[in-house]
Structure 1
Amino acid sequence: MTIADEVAPNVFRASGTDVNVVILRDGDALTLIDGGYPGDVSAVEYAINSLGRSPEDVQGMLLTHAHIDHMGAIVSFHERYRTPVFTDPTEVAHARRDYLEQAKGKDFIPMLHKHGVLPWLLRIARVGATRSLSIDDAQAFGSSGPLDLPGAPVPVATHGHTSGHSAYHLPQHGVVITGDALVTAHALSKVDGPQLLPQVFDHGKQDTVAALDHLAVLNAETIVPGHGPVVSMHISAAVEQARGRSR
């Protein structure tokens, strides 16, 4: 268990199993962005408790995208407390599981001999990677500007990793929460620093690379990725590095 790490005023990053979650605080009210694997729910609860708050203080929850490693605590809190869940309008159907854009176990069979694959698969299997999760009443956020949620996050369309992937910008703090549109490490990657995830995870690499344009124009010097450590560098420089590594 880890406590929530404050990366900017009232912006906290906590760790699940090889994945990050973000908590925004405004007084006693919270917004949760992503939720780790199903087995990470207790870790997310612990992080919230470390702020002197409880899951009932979460006023709304945001998904960057509806992959299993980002849905765990989101689904749990929604079922227990009826906390509303919001995501990009395109991603709503994915969260409801009208379709599934996610790598399956068979996709990794040809990769079992590669760097980190088998230990990672065993690790995530223990925290529910093979479970089926959905959010039947996920809602589309309806604003192109700051959302009416604690922390006032601004959605940034970064479609590609999934058809409706969204990053979230906190312009008042110079922070961008990139989800899986740009990461800084992964168990299957041999390099550290800004990069795209291995292609096996992507719905469409061409769109994923193009989505970096929407990040590069933001005013942000703190990057909170879906996977890997928080980094302090301008997002445009991080995008340049990720583009170079994707070629």
Structure 2
Amino acid sequence: MKPPALTRVADGVHFVNTGSANWTILTEGRSATLVDAGYPGDLPAVLWSLERLGHRPEDLAAVLVTHAHVDHIGSLPELLRRAPHAKVLTSAAEARHVRREFLEQATPFDVVANLWRPGFLPWALHIVRAGALRDVRVPAAEAFPAAGPLDVPGRPVPVPTPGHTSGHTCYHLPEAGALITGDTLVTAHPTSRSAGPQLLASLFHHDEPAVRAALDVLEPLPAGLLLPGHGPHLAASPADAVALVRAGRG
């Protein structure tokens, strides 16, 4: 396994970038919160990143999900076998998606139809090796118990941003001045020829107009650090990042 890039971006906030999928680890004493979990094949990297921070899977108090695509929940079924007490939390709509009561995700046909585009073929080969074709579901997923800061390490505040999926959620970390943007706003992707704040390609979104509307929700949030689902972390405010996306420069 090639170790991913693990970066401490703020006190108790650690960003993990594998090059194809990201996750964030929030630590507080002996407990931790994991936000997203990569592809099925990323399980060794998830375990490695916890270990590098001095944690074991048993230390996980919660796993928060931005959305239920396979590159964000793929390692969870096996990880939860090692972390039986960790709660899997997301929005009510997305909890049903994580449990696979429905599926909103680009199909293999969608991917094949776009293999002519630059970057798609090597990306497609990579994600197949990473387990993208597996049927991944997490029956234990449940909705947040209440609005406002969650009572888990890091005290993240859920920010509803439906569009990429029906229940997509970003997470604001007010104490760290950071925003976990999931796939509502990213900074790179293997299928993209640009770098910097941007939207994913249209085929990846359930409702692209809603994704653009969700930028209005992110724009005013007080943060100076963006932690996306794809691409490197970025020292920028949501307002500045959204402005670049709207200007077509990201």
TM-score by length of 2: 0.95
Give CA deviations for 1:162-208 in whole Å, capped at 9, x if unaligned.
00000000011110000001000001111100001000000000101
Indicate the residue corresponding to 1:217 in structure 2: 220
Residue 244 (structure 1) shift: 2.6
- 2:168 paired with 1:162: no
Indicate the residue corresponding to 1:87 in structure 2: 90
- 2:177 paired with 1:174: yes
Which of 31, 45, 48 aligns to 2:47? It is 45
The gaps in structure 1 that reach 5 residues or longer are: none
* d(CA) in 2 for partners of 1:90, 1:8: 30
Which of 209, 217, 230 aligns to 1:206? It is 209
- 2:197 paired with 1:194: yes
Residue 14 (structure 1) shift: 1.1
Residue 120 (structure 1) shift: 0.2
Residue 142 (structure 1) shift: 2.2
Moved over 4 A (4+): none
- Determine helix, strand or coil for the equivalent of 2:137: coil
Q: Is the 8 A contact 2:178 2:224 kept in 1?
A: yes
* d(CA) in 2 for partners of 1:49, 1:245: 40
Which residue identity lines up with residue 9 of structure 1 in the other structure?
D
Indicate the residue corresponding to 2:15 in structure 1: 13
Q: Is the 8 A contact 2:58 2:82 kept in 1?
A: no
Residue 246 (structure 1) shift: 9.1
Residue 81 (structure 1) shift: 2.5
- Determine helix, strand or coil for the equivalent of 1:102: coil
* d(CA) in 2 for partners of 1:43, 1:26: 21
Which of 13, 23, 26 aligns to 1:24? It is 26
Which residue identity lines up with residue 110 of structure 1 in the other structure?
A
Indicate the residue corresponding to 1:71 in structure 2: 73
- 2:237 paired with 1:239: no
* d(CA) in 2 for partners of 1:15, 1:246: 23
* d(CA) in 2 for partners of 1:142, 1:244: 38
Residue 84 (structure 1) shift: 1.4
- 2:115 paired with 1:112: yes
Indicate the residue corresponding to 1:103 in structure 2: 106
* d(CA) in 1 for partners of 2:174, 2:45: 28
Q: Is the 8 A contact 1:17 1:37 kept in 2?
A: no
Indicate the residue corresponding to 1:131 in structure 2: 134
- Determine helix, strand or coil for the equivalent of 1:90: helix
- The percent of aligned pairs where both chains have the same amino acid is 45
* d(CA) in 1 for partners of 2:173, 2:182: 14
- 2:168 paired with 1:185: no
Q: Is the 8 A contact 1:175 1:224 kept in 2?
A: yes
Q: Is the 8 A contact 2:27 2:33 kept in 1?
A: yes
Give CA deviations for 1:87-111 in whole Å, capped at 9, x if unaligned.
0111111111111000011002221
Which residue identity lines up with residue 37 of structure 1 in the other structure?
Y
Moved more, 193-202 or 104-113: 104-113
* d(CA) in 1 for partners of 2:230, 2:72: 10
* d(CA) in 2 for partners of 1:243, 1:142: 34
Indicate the residue corresponding to 2:229 in structure 1: 226
